[in-house]
Structures are given as structure tokens and as C-alpha cells.
Amino acid sequence: MELTTLEAIVSLKESSQVEYKKAKNDFPKDAWKSYSAFANTTGGYLILGISEDENKRPVLTGVNDAEKIISDFCSTLADRSKVSLNVIKNDDIRIRVIEGKNIIILHIKEANIKNKPVYLNNNLTHTYIRLHSQDHQVDTQQLSSILRNQSDELDYELLLNYDISDLDIDSINSYRSILAKRYPTLNYSEMDNQKFLEDIGVFRKNRDTNLTNLTVAGLLFFGKYNSIISRFPHYHVDFFDKRGNSQRWSFRIESGNLDFPDMNLFNYYRLVSEKLLLSVNRDFELDEYTIRKNPTDLTVALREAFVNMIIHADYFLNTTALIAEIHEPYYVFINPGIMKIPVKEFFTGGARSLVRNPLLVNLFTRMGASEHAGSGSLKIIDVVVKNRFKVPELESDLERTYLKLWVAEPLVDISNLKEDEKKVYGFICNNQNLNKSSIEFTKKEIADAYPDITAARLTRILNKLSDQNLILKMGAYKNRTYVRPISSLEMIHRLGETYDIMKQMFYEDKSDSK
């Protein structure tokens, strides 16, 4: 963050990621709440030397001795009885001079989910999170949620007073049939139910009692509905088809409904997956979107989004249900609990996936419904980029994760273009007929497609489309090509492909040199 003028400061308002403190002579004691809150949420900037007037507008006050305040800050930061974790590096501390006054800018990064909560005074209850422009002390449920997020084995918990009678036998038999076809050499069809469930990890040995107990994942995946809610009273799964003119929905699948008894996660997945896949080849039109009639690999994106919702949910929370919805022209997937990676890394694939329910992951992977954790988001983004869909909307906090997966691309207004200009624009941005993998087109390729457009007119058309940002010019004049505008998500995707290619070349060079 570069603040070099008073106007730049005024343009910043206190928000979820910006906090002002007066700090004339000392580091403010209440600023530690902001430190904890930023580290426990999505990070932010703590700016010292700025106060606010009665209208909440920033006022430049400056600090008297910036080096002393920074020294005191770092000294306290190193004291684990005062602050549980240091997320600050040297590059995160900046002194800026504005109108002759010093201010201090502290960039407080979000802590790794394994290191949360970041708390104060050696007291877990002194944990803060950032909500809008305020620091809030966590309540009991929020603290429990943060602590649970440290675990990678939530669904391995053993249930001492549950047995095979708590499971739906039809679900077990159906799942066994799927695995028997996928792995015929493992003889699953010949095993009795108890042996089969032990083999796939649903029942595990309790090392303290030497007995075999049902796991949390086993109950959620195969359980009878009443048995599930006896352990998870807030358990609820839901599906809505909200297409059409109905103000509510045209079709619904929900747990607790007698039309859908024993709605465990396995049955929920099978029923809803069928509805999602049947919705793929549908026609719809809206004024604000250009619809892709034959989307590529949309079933892959839907499967990954749906399975990710199930396997990454925090079933110990009571904040929301598992919800999948079909809309025009998008899908919604909601689950309780925060994502265990930052939202931005969902789009970039820049971090190793952190698993909340590894046994559920294994159960879905065995039946072919998902690959191992970590590839789901990349597959979703790949489908979005291929089809030029609108960028997915993703929100995640302690209470829930919300994904809106669009299956349409934003409409570009070309109503002001002349007919020959529309033809050239359509050729560059929508041409799917040429035998070429590149989306770049030379002037000659465009001219060959439209021989009735003179060279001089084509030059004027290309310049106009470029000036209106409807197309992009690439390269120097002699080697110039023309491409459709590329979204930031597509650019990230392409950079990722480039990185993978370079990495592969590097390792090939290494192996060749041995």
C-alpha cells in the first residue's frame, strides 16, 4: 500500500482490511485487537498516525517517534505471553512522510489456518476477528470452529455408542456394488457388511479399548437419518431447482422429508448428482448474458463443486445446511464452515489443499466421484476458462462457504458497431471453426475470411475495436495479431500453464544431464 498524499489517505476508509489509530507517542494498546482480528480473518493494514473526525473522515496527525513505536511493537510481538503468533516480517513495516508528518503502515497478513487463533494475553478467549470495519471478540462457537480448523482428521472421530444398526443397509449395498465393479479383484461382493465397512475405514479400531467403533464419516455417509441427527442435531441437506417462473422452486430434495428417508451423504450425492447432470444440456436466455449452448466439461465442474461442498463442510457447526441450487444461468453450492485455504488460492491453485474430512474424501474417491483433494478447484477454473464463463463468486467465513458457478459469459454491448465491424469482432472473439489451437488472428486471416472488406477499411475497423477495448492488439506491427480480451482469471490460468510447462522442461533438462 503506497500512501504518499493526504488525498490517498482520505480515499481509504476504515474497512474489513484497513484500521486507523492515532498513536502519537506509543503503540496503542487497543491496536492489538486489530492485529489479532486481521491475522484471524483475511489480513489487513494497520495505519498509525491517523485519527478520525466526528464524520469518520481520516485526519492526519502523525507520530512523534516512529522508530520507538516500531521498536515497542516488535518487542511486544516477540513476547508469547502477550501475542500468540508473529505474522510480521521486516517488509511489512513501512514509515511514510506526508505533509511533513510520519505515519506507520503495518501490513498484517492472514495467519495460516493451522496457526489460528492468534490471541492475546495468553488467553484463548482474547481472540478477535474482523467484521466490516470493527474488531469483534469471538464467541464460544466461533472459537470452537477456529480450533477445529487446525485438525485434518475431524471425521475420523470414533463414536462409542453407535454400531452397524445405525447405518442404512441399502446405502451400504449400493456403495459396495459400485466398488465391486470398480475394483473386481478386491472381492468386496463376497465380504459381509461388517468386514466390508472395516476394510474401507468406516469402522476403525479403538486403540484404547481394542474394540472397533463407527467413525463420524461412516455415520454421515451411510447413517440412518435419525442416527445422524442424534449426533449432529443441526444436520440438514437440501437441494432446490429454482428454474422457471416459480417464486420458490420447481423441485426440492431435503433431509427430514418422508419422501426421502435416510438422507445420508451417499444418498444425497446420488440423488442431487442426477439432477445436476440432467440440467447441463438446457437452453436459457437472459438479456444480460450471452449463453454458451454447448458448454465443454460442465459436468466435471458441477461434480467437483458439489463434492467439494460435501467433503469440506464442518458438520459440527449449526450455521447453515448443505445446499445445492440450480438457477438460470448459474448454480449455487453452500456448506457450513470456512475454506481451509484463502479464497484467492482457490482461483490460482497456489496452495496445497487442506483437508477437513479425509475419510469422506476417501469414500468419494473410491466410488469415482472425486479425485484426491487438491485438484477440484483447478478443474472448476479450467472449465470456466474454456467456456469463457463469468468468473465464479466465492465467499467464505467462519459460518459458511458460498460458491456461485456461472454457466454464461458476460454480454458485450456491440450495438453501436456497424455490420462489417460486428463481423470482424465476431470472427476474433467467437470464431470456433478454424483449425488452430491459438485464439490469436493475423490481419491476413481476418481479410481472407471477409474479402469484401478492403484493407484500408479493415485497418480502421481493427483500430476502432481496439480503441473500444473490444479486442486487444498483440505484438509489433509486422507480427501483430488480434485477440479477444482476456479476463484476469484466464490470465492466471494461462500463467499457471506456462509455469507447469517450464517446470516440466526444467526437470527434463535435469534428467537429461544426469
Q: Enumerate the β-bridge partners of residue 367.
A: none
At residue 184 the predicted structure's pLDDT band, cuts being 50, 70 and 90, is: very high
Residue range 286-296, pLDDT digits in tens: 545 555 556 77
For domain 419-483, the question of CATH label 1.10.3470 is answered with no
Q: Which three cell numbers stand for residue 11?
A: 480515499
**Average pLDDT of the chain to the nearest whole number:** 86
Calculate the CA 199 to chain-centre distance. Answer: 33
Domain ranges within the chain, ordered by starting residue: 6-138, 154-230, 234-410, 419-483
pLDDT band for 383, please (50, 70, 90 cuts).
Answer: confident
Nearest to 496 by CA among 345, 387, 349, 346: 349
* Structure confidence by residue, pLDDT tens digits, 193-247: 999 999 999 999 999 999 999 999 999 999 999 999 999 999 999 999 998 776 7
Assign 502 a pLDDT band (cuts: 50, 70, 90): very low
The predicted-structure confidence for 98-153, as pLDDT tens digits, reads as follows: 888 999 999 999 999 999 999 999 999 999 999 988 999 999 999 999 999 999 88
Fold for the domain defined by 234-410: Heat Shock Protein 90 (3.30.565)
Q: Does domain 6-138 have CATH number 3.30.300.20?
A: no
Dist CA 360 CA 497 (whole Å): 30
Let me know how long the chain is. Answer: 514
* Neighbour count for residue 29 (Cβ, 10 Å): 8
pLDDT of residue 413: 76
201: left (phi over 0), alpha (psi -120 to 50) or beta: left
Name the pLDDT band for 486 (thresholds 50, 70, 90): low
Please report which confidence band the pLDDT of residue 284 belongs to, taking 50, 70 and 90 as the band edges: low
Residue 418 Cα to chain centre, angstroms: 41
Main-chain phi, psi angles of 463, to 5 degrees: -65, -40
Question: Which residues are within 8 A (CB) of 83 and not within 5 positions of it... i.e. 6 or more apart?
Answer: 32, 35, 36, 76, 77, 118, 120
pLDDT of residue 374: 54
pLDDT per residue over 9-60, tens digit each? 667 676 788 899 999 999 999 999 999 999 999 999 999 999 888 877 788 8
Report the pLDDT value the prediction gives residue 437, as an integer from 0 to 100: 45
Q: What percent of the chain has pLDDT over 70?
A: 85
| Mean pLDDT computed over 486-509 | 45
The distance from CA 393 to its chain's CA centroid, rounded to whole angstroms, is: 9
Residue 39, amino acid: A
Higher pLDDT, 443 or 411: 443
Which pLDDT score is estimated for 285? 53
